[in-house]
A and B are shown apart, each in its own frame.
Chain A
Amino acid sequence: MDVILFTVFNGLLYGMLLFMLSSGLTLIFGMMGVLNFAHASFFMLGAYFAYQISKYIGFVPALFIAPLIVAVCGAMVEKYALRRVHKFGHVAELLFTFGLFYIIEELVQMVWGKVPVGYHVPEFLDFTLFSMSGMGYQAYAMFTLLVSIAIFFALFSVLTKTRAGLIIQAALTHPEIVSSLGHNVPRVFMAVFGLGCALAGLAGVLAGNTLGTEPSMALSLGPIVFVVIVVGGLGSLKGALVASILIGVLQTTAISLDLSINSLIETLGFAVDLESLWHILIDLTISQVAPILPYLLLVVMLIVRPRGLFGNRDV
């Protein structure tokens, strides 16, 4: 029982981190139709800015300033580059951000070097808040969890309940009408892109110190975020939340299971005597195959339900 409880809880912690990352991506995609390959790069920028700022004026200001700087970077990218590419279509935008991914990774190395930087959890949150069946949980992890939950509710209510949210949604579907109503559509897009990047940046601020802040962090987290938004349904915030938690729990549960095909056969009362080659295959435990499970989920989802969990159109 205990095992199940803390496996699920661990999965939730990891899943909410994925959500923070993917919320910005799905927001940008849903609002603008732009798929930002470099999204995880903005996550990395957030971590590095936070490292630099917290070195001088502390973690709390960094928590606010770093995402802001990332937002400005994102807005600049939208204004000076994406807007120009927009006329060539969404694929061109995706291609541009693919190049941007390389550029940001290299720029980060140029400024901060290739060695991981020492970005650590702030002292005042570095204590054990509570423990559950022998495993302690750090106050910082709970703080991260709370922030990500707050983000979900804030985003959800802003987009569906406020005037600004309605304008944003309308700007995508009816740009001419919105602009004839006196709203600056390009500026709305710039703001959305900046906001999406800021969310990624915030995730970077919060996760950079636990995962390690290094130039390859964008590459290691990038692809999984795409899985989240496809599984959740493209452009759906709710979908991103559910898919993130699903993938988080799936991963952690799988790692805790030492079951293999062979052990299954043995519990059924049979013994297998295979050649050594095949033996290795059926001896693979679920915990060993855990890293492919999210991608397997993606494939299954594509076959069974191409629109994703909460999407409104097929992929």
Chain B
Amino acid sequence: MLNILKPFSTWIIIAAIAAALPLIFESSFALTLLSKMGVLIIFTVAYNMLLGQGGMLSFGHAIYFGLAGYASIHILNGIGEETLPYFPTVLFPLIGAIVGLFFGSIVGYVSTRRAGTAFAMISLGFCEMVTAMTLIFVIFFNGEDGIQTDRMVGPEPFGVSFGPQIEVYYLILFWVLLTVALMYIITKTPFGRMSNAVRDNPERAAFIGYSVRRVRWQAFALSSMFAGAAGSLHAINYEHIGFESVSVVQSGAVLFMAFIGGAGHFLGPIIGAIGLTYLDSTLADITEAWLLYLGLTFSGIVMFAPGGLAGLIVMHGPIARTNKNLLFSLIKPYLLAIGSVITGLLGLIGIIEMLYFRSLISKGEGEIIIFWTEFNANGILSWLIFIGLILLGIFLSKRTFPVAKESWDNAISVVKTEISNE
């Protein structure tokens, strides 16, 4: 019996931990956050079927997420007003999936002729069109107001009404596990492999007899389907849907998550969704410059680590497998390099915060709290401190980075020789 379960052990462990989380973090803030993370994990992994697996950069994937949300809200309201027959809330993501699949198939058919930048631009155009429609066809979308619903409709099987947030969390968790597992399996199927082939070399894929456009279209439709399931859960979670859910802003957010997390690895988007949702819920309240930091991080990742966070971790896989000690030997140079970067960043953050402070707040003496310390945004001293930190950071980085790079090169060359020796 246990042997049968073994291949699934990781999944079971994750499921058990996730199910236990609300018991550890009891505050309603944590529950809200965890629910939001769950929804965005599905959406981001679905998005990565396009970006990472299929090599299609879309600025409009929120269309399917949002439209599924609108459909779910209307159906919930219909059930509430008893104009529609009862449909169990647990199965609502299926409705979302169907809506996503439907619209994804239509739009995908038109837009997957080419990948690359042209595809990206077209996806943006579609997204803008749907967003504009939500503001014009007020009858269905209710424009800027969005639509409200009450998820407590119909009978309450086993006493579950989905009123309390905890019940919604478990609903989301169930669907996260199911859909992420499905999407993982898809990457291992011949179709998943074909999708990768089309991403890497469309000419060759076409040469061996595959219709490149068809593969892209299928990937697009599947990805939209899962995005739709996420949209449904989003609607149930907040009992509201508005135009932002179909807009470029939401599409951009999912792109940020997938790419910063690492589009090249299946777990990358999950890391991105968890990390960014967390930061978005906490940092955005603390600093005005949250979007600036996000933009800088994103552009930095594009420039220096296109594999994202997951890419950086996976990079060390071969070293860890060959020789654990080799990996440990990297820790010290890495820490030094990271430390010097952080020194510089502290200075940069200080300067940014003070600039924001000065531009936004016209009153008062200029006291600002940065890193739990009070500074005077109008005093020369605090500027000198932060500029000093930046310079120190640059100075240190110039010394520590070559060392870190050298250790990495060393380690990787050891790995290479060992592999060739085998």
Which residues of A line the B interface, CB within 8 A?
29, 33, 35, 81, 84-85, 88-92, 94-96, 98-103, 105-107, 109-114, 223-224, 226-227, 229-230, 234, 277, 280-281, 284, 288-289, 291-292, 295-296, 298-299, 302-303, 306, 314-315
Q: Does B185 contact A (CB under 8 A)?
A: no
Q: Which residues of chain B are within 8 angstroms of A29 by Cβ–Cβ distance?
A: 117
Q: Does B133 contact A (CB under 8 A)?
A: yes
A interface majority secondary structure:
helix
**Bound-complex Cα distance A224 to B110 (A):** 19
Q: Which residues of chain B are within 8 angstroms of A84 by Cβ–Cβ distance?
A: 303
Q: Which residues of chain A are within 8 angstroms of B296 by Cβ–Cβ distance?
A: 99, 103
* Chain B 131-142 interface 0/1 with A at a Cβ cutoff of 8 Å (1 = within): 011011111000
CB–CB A295/B303 < 8 A: no
Known: A98-B255, A296-B129. 16 other contacts (CB 8 A): A88-B302, A95-B302, A96-B299, A100-B295, A100-B299, A102-B298, A103-B299, A110-B352, A110-B356, A112-B359, A284-B137, A291-B136, A299-B110, A299-B126, A302-B110, A315-B118
**Bound-complex Cα distance A112 to B356 (A):** 10
CB–CB A299/B303 < 8 A: no
Q: Which residues of chain B are within 8 angstroms of A105 by Cβ–Cβ distance?
A: 291
Chain A residue at minimal CB-CB distance from B354 = A110
* Chain B 77-89 interface 0/1 with A at a Cβ cutoff of 8 Å (1 = within): 0000000000000
Q: Offer 17 A-B interface pairs, CB within 8 angstroms, sorted by A.
A: A88-B302, A88-B306, A91-B57, A94-B117, A95-B259, A95-B298, A113-B359, A226-B125, A229-B121, A234-B118, A281-B139, A291-B132, A295-B128, A299-B126, A299-B129, A314-B113, A315-B122
**Bound-complex Cα distance A227 to B128 (A):** 10
Q: Does B116 contact A (CB under 8 A)?
A: yes
CB–CB B299/A81 < 8 A: yes
* Chain B 157-188 interface 0/1 with A at a Cβ cutoff of 8 Å (1 = within): 00000000000000000000000000000000
CB–CB A315/B114 < 8 A: yes
CB–CB A110/B355 < 8 A: yes
Q: Which residues of chain B are within 8 angstroms of A103 by Cβ–Cβ distance?
A: 292, 295-296, 299
**Bound-complex Cα distance A223 to B57 (A):** 16
CB–CB B289/A110 < 8 A: yes
**Bound-complex Cα distance A95 to B307 (A):** 13
Contacts A85-B303, A100-B295, A315-B122 given; indicate if A303 touches B136 (C-beta within 8 A): no
Chain A residue at minimal CB-CB distance from B56 = A91
CB–CB A102/B122 < 8 A: no
Chain B residue at minimal CB-CB distance from A87 = B306
CB–CB A288/B136 < 8 A: yes
CB–CB A85/B129 < 8 A: no
Closest CB in chain A relative to B352 CB, distance in Å: 7
Which listed residue (A94, A223, A299) contacts B120, Cβ 8 A? A94
